[in-house]
Amino acid sequence: MKYTVIIPAAGLGSRMGLGFNKVLLEIDGEPVIKRTVRQFEEDPDCEAIHLAVRSEETDIMNKMFENSRKIAGIHIGGAERQDSIYNALINVKNAEYVFVHDGARPFVTTDVLKRLKDKVTETGAVICGVKTKDTLKRVNDGKVKETLVRDEVVAVHTPQGFKYSILRQAYEHSKANKLEVTDDSMMVEAIGKEVYLVDSTYDNIKITTSEDLQLAHMILKGK
Ligand SMILES: Nc1ccn([C@@H]2O[C@H](COP(=O)(O)OP(=O)(O)OP(=O)(O)O)[C@@H](O)[C@H]2O)c(=O)n1
Ligand SMILES: O=P(O)(O)OC[C@@H](O)[C@@H](O)[C@@H](O)CO
């Protein structure tokens, strides 16, 4: 199978508190976004990479990826993650399968990609995730409402992979219905399609807060 990946990188990174977009932060001398893109540059099944970036960062991103063989488009992102991805999605041409992967997740492995590729060709919609290690409870106003059955929940990561036609339909539906989502499969669930799950790895972290940076250094050391 062959697929196209959309990588949203147009956030602010406000929870990192750096004062600049966290995807531009260097870890061991290389920007987070460059590391993320490289995972797909190195996957022979990935045919094209579309990035969504902040308008004021277009020049820096164009320069960073000027020698990249697979970058097929650098698009201006939107106010929310889903707006950024939509701006890229409408510019994807001739792709049967589309993966979406956070620019801020630089450690996805070839094994996870393989599991996703195998499953998406079989089902048309797949996410990856890990079992949670903590007990999970639903709370409201500082009070416990219920304890969730841990075997029934996962912490969801990206990449998430879809048939292009399904993802496009899901995004158009969400736009028309003004759905606010925190991942792409939520939109696919909303159009009634079944979404399947494969294992991710605990290392596939999203760089979100400053603690994640220490974790990132440890993950790199272990590789
Ligand atoms: N309007 C947005 C918001 C987010 N993203 C991207 O979506 C990914 C995951 O989002 P998140 O971790 O929430 O990043 P930020 O929105 O940058 O972080 P924060 O919420 O702390 O500002 C990141 O690669 C981010 O660049 C995007 O392309 N466009
Ligand atoms: O925190 P935000 O809602 O901006 O973004 C979260 C998403 O990036 C996140 O839900 C996926 O990476 C899947 O976990």
Domain count, the chain: 1
- pLDDT the model gives residue 223: 80
* Best mutation site among 16, 81, 204 for ligand 1 pocket (most ligand atoms within 8 Å of CB): 81
- Residue 33: how many other CB atoms lie within 10 Å: 25
CA distances from 90 to 106, 165, 172, 219 (A): 25, 11, 10, 35
Ligand 1 atom with least separation from CA of 103: 24
Residue-level pLDDT at 23 = 98
In short, whether 209's Cβ falls inside 6 Å of ligand 2 is: no
Task: Please give the pLDDT value at position 61.
Answer: 98
CA 208 to ligand 2: nearest atom = 1
Task: Please give the residue range of the domain that contains residue 31.
Answer: 3-222
Q: How far is CA 201 from the centre of its chain?
A: 14
Q: Check if 183 has its Cβ closer than 6 Å to any atom of ligand 2.
A: yes
The whole-number pLDDT of residue 100 equals: 98
Give the ligand whose atoms come closest to the C-alpha of residue 25: 1
For residue 59, the model assigns a pLDDT of: 97
Please tell me the distance between residue 79's alpha carbon and the centre of ligand 1 in angstroms: 10
pLDDT at residue 48, rounded to an integer: 98
Q: Which of 7, 36, 33, 35 is nearest to 20 (CA)?
A: 33
**Which ipTM was obtained for this model?**
0.97
Matching residue, tokens 């993320």: 36
CATH of the domain at 135: 3.90.550.10
The parts of the chain modelled with pLDDT lower than 70 are none
State residue 60's pLDDT score. 98
Say how many Å lie between the CA of residue 207 and the centre of ligand 1. Answer: 10
Question: Ligand 1 centroid vs 95 CA: distance in angstroms?
Answer: 24
Phi, psi of 10, rounded to the nearest 5 degrees: -100, 25
Please report the atom of ligand 2 found closest to the CA of residue 160: 13
Atom 16 (ligand 1) nearest CA: 11
Distance 160 CA to ligand 2 centre (A): 12
pLDDT value of residue 71: 98
